[in-house]
Copies of this chain bind each other. A is one copy, B any other.
Amino acid sequence: MAYSITSLNELTAQFEKLPGIGKKTAQRLAFYVITAPEEYAERFSRALIDARSKIRLCSCCQALSDGELCPVCGDPLRDKSIICVVSDPRDILAFERTREFKGVYHVLHGVISPLDGIGPEKLKVRELLARLSDGSVKEVIMATDPTVEGEATASYISRFIKPMGIKITRLAYGVPVGGNLEYADEVTLQRALDGRNEI
């Protein structure tokens, strides 16, 4: 195309690398940055470098953290004897929003997926087992996604934990609160029936 401005193209290309951002959106975002006040680009630019350089993995639970320990592991009020195992750091935010869970987390950073070449050695499984070795943990909640890979990962890891005599639980299946039964798929509905409680 005749109309080509190098620095604008470069910015568009960087936006386009983000997940879920296509060419058109990238262009729109790049134009926005250029027409927004100069402070915005400067602050955005600093935030990128800052976040990328400061954030590392919590040495205990492998969640994202800007210190040696993440805010949860560093909190003396959290119950270190219950570990909720999740596959993605963002899952922690979802649990924290419930304001109910008082235990700690462990992030696997993925699920076992042979098709994508992700075996258990690529996940933070060794780190989890190391945390369980001192006998202080009473329960491990397997909170991987309710997908085929998530289930397989949970059951794979459970096999190592079982012999340690630690209680292993899985999140309850059922119909989502506020959902519409008409749209519930049959597997979910079957699981909701299986897990029915007396009222």
Residues of A within 8 A of B (CB): 1-8, 10-11, 13-14, 17-21, 25, 27-34, 36, 38, 40-55, 64-66, 70-72, 75, 89-90, 92-93, 96-97
Contacts and interface: CB of A to CB of B under 8 A. Distances in A.
Given A8-B55, A31-B90, 11 more contacts: A2-B72, A2-B96, A3-B72, A5-B71, A10-B50, A17-B40, A19-B32, A34-B55, A41-B48, A42-B48, A45-B46
A145 to B, nearest CB: 15
A50 B96 CA distance: 38
**What is the predominant secondary structure among interface residues of chain A facing chain B?**
helix
A162 to B, nearest CB: 30
A17 B31 CA distance: 13
Nearest to A97: B1
Given A10-B47, A29-B19, A5 B41 contact: no
B8 A51 contact: yes
Contacts of A32: 18-19
A154 to B, nearest CB: 22
A54 B10 CA distance: 12
